[in-house]
Amino acid sequence: MIRKIGVILLGLVFLGSMAWTPVFDPVQAEVRKPTADADYARTKLSKGGIFKASYTSEPDAVPVNRLISWKLKVETPDGRAVKDAEITLSGDMPEHGHGLPTQPRVTKNNNDGTYVVEGIKFSMTGWWTMTFTIKANGKTDSVTFNLQLK
């Protein structure tokens, strides 16, 4: 009898633990919204710490639903201009699983470590990411900026 009760209890504990096990949700895992102001910084070190990148937007307050251009500045972490970078970029809305409605690209290298990016258009309000992959001096690294558009 005691054993039976023990088994029932064990079963209950097992069921309980099943209920409490967090289910892995790939969508949830992928969508971890930035929370701190610092996450929205316009100057950032690249993931591997190889480059320092910053952007300015024209217009400065990033609008929704309008074609805009950015100027991307690429430096070494100690502040020397990186003048011959090959840059590709992609925008994403991680919560919605889609990117920009356009295909922006670098259209001009100003030869002073700054690059003109044309064709950027954010089609929705909400959280966007802009990832730049930078290749220079034989090294490749990427940097992701977060934007919260209203």
Residues near another protein (CB under 8 A): 27, 64-65, 67, 95-105, 118-119, 121, 123-126, 150
Query: Closest distance between another protein and the C-beta of residue 63, in Å?
Result: 10
- Cα 131 from chain centroid (whole Å): 6
Q: Of 65, 40, 73, which is closest to residue 122 (Cα–Cα)?
A: 65
Query: Closest distance between another protein and the C-beta of residue 124, in Å?
Result: 5
Residue nearer to another protein on the CB measure, 34 or 94 = 94
Q: Is 95 helix (H, G, I), strand (E, B) or coil?
A: coil
Q: Is 26 helix (H, G, I), strand (E, B) or coil?
A: helix
Query: Closest distance between another protein and the C-beta of residue 30, in Å?
Result: 11
Residue nearer to another protein on the CB measure, 80 or 105 = 105
Buried b (16+ CB within 10 A) or exposed e, 73-110: bbbeeeeeebeebebebebbbbeeeebbeeebebeeee
- Cα 79 from chain centroid (whole Å): 23
Residue nearer to another protein on the CB measure, 100 or 134 = 100
Tokens linked to 20: 């409490």
Query: Closest distance between another protein and the C-beta of residue 102, in Å?
Result: 4
Query: Closest distance between another protein and the C-beta of residue 64, in Å?
Result: 6
Residue nearer to another protein on the CB measure, 16 or 97 = 97
Residue length of the chain? 150
Residue nearer to another protein on the CB measure, 104 or 113 = 104
